[in-house]
Amino acid sequence: MIQRWLTVSTVLCCVLPGRAAHAWGPVAHVAVTSRAIDALSGSLKDFYKNHRVEMPTLSPEPNFTEEGQERRFAVDRLLPFPFTDLPRTEAALKERYGDEAGKVGRLPWLIQESYGRLLTAYKSGEKDKILAESDVLGGLVADMSDPLACTDNADGQKTEQHGLWVRFTIRFPEAYQRSLHLSPEPARYLDDPKDYVFAMMRAAYIWVDNILYQEDLAHRASSGYGEIYYEALATRASSILKGQLSNAATDVGSYWYTAWTAAGRPELK
């Protein structure tokens, strides 16, 4: 059931242009981070469970970093799906596409950089750094699961669906949160955590056209972007939302587990 607290101001902010770019809002990030811990096992799971409220996203007074255009990767601005010839390093991307490379975002590289910092933190054994960087990495990996973060049509501006970004990535999870039950798979070791970023990107991108289509149908079933709209959107797109956030929780747990394993599986307290 859709929550009935959507106010006029909430609805209006869905259609105002120029808002900050968030790949998923707070509700989604809390759900993903929490379920990522559940995807772990053994002593690593115990560590995160014992210190979960020390992570910025899960603290009693959560702190969410303002997210901008860097936390996107509008890859279809550069080449078409399935992106087979996409360079795998930021330097190679800039060499091939020049100034255009700087307009698509840095999300893959932000994930790779954060993974490296988490690996260093595990090796140092510094609890606060491990928890802080785990939270950062978790947010970035979750962002990559958002299909709209991977397209140049993120706000629906090319398909006359202006304001789509806020409606789908922030307001939809908020309206649907009571039914937002994620089902992540157990965390697994990633053989190549750097390259896995691009597998996540492709897996998210395949849902772009489906989201555009289902959102358009939901809008046609209502006269605006209020409760009726979000109920229609839930009927049509809740499986996509839950599926992508469940995948994100699996991937976040897998990145944590992989970094911990690569660091030699240190004992954490």
Amino acid making up residue 58:
L
Does residue 65 have a pLDDT over 50?
yes
- Residue 14 has a pLDDT of 38
Confidence of residue 243 (pLDDT cuts 50, 70, 90): very high
Does residue 215 have a pLDDT over 90?
yes
Please give the DSSP secondary-structure letter assigned to residue 167: I
Q: Which residue has the tokens 């954060």?
A: 114
Residue 77 in any domain: the answer is yes
What average pLDDT does this structure show over 181-210? 98
Residue 3 in any domain: the answer is no
* Closest among 108, 136, 106 to 120, alpha carbons compared: 136
Residue 269 in any domain: the answer is no
What average pLDDT does this structure show over 173-196? 97
pTM of the model: 0.92
Q: CB pairs under 8 A, 24+ apart, for 42-51?
A: 43/267, 43/268, 44/256, 44/257, 44/260, 44/268, 47/268, 47/269, 48/134, 48/256, 51/127, 51/131
Please give the DSSP secondary-structure letter assigned to residue 24: S
Residue 268 in any domain: the answer is no
Confidence of residue 67 (pLDDT cuts 50, 70, 90): low
Q: What is the CATH number of the domain that holds 118?
A: 1.10.575.10
Better-scored residue on pLDDT, 77 or 19 = 77
The residue segments making up the domain with residue 66 are 8-262
pLDDT digits (tens, 9 = 90+) for 131-160: 999 999 999 999 999 999 999 999 999 999
- Residue 69 has a pLDDT of 84
Confidence of residue 187 (pLDDT cuts 50, 70, 90): very high
pLDDT digits (tens, 9 = 90+) for 12-50: 333 333 334 448 999 999 999 999 999 999 999 999 999
- Residue 1 has a pLDDT of 52
Residue 80 in any domain: the answer is yes
| CA dist list (Å): 238 to 54, 234, 263 | 30, 5, 38
What average pLDDT does this structure show over 155-176? 97
Residue 2 in any domain: the answer is no
Query: Which two three-digit tokens encode residue 164?
Result: 């789509």
Residue 254 in any domain: the answer is yes
Residue 138 in any domain: the answer is yes
Based on the structure, what is the number of domains in the chain? 1
Q: Which residue has the tokens 């699996």?
A: 250
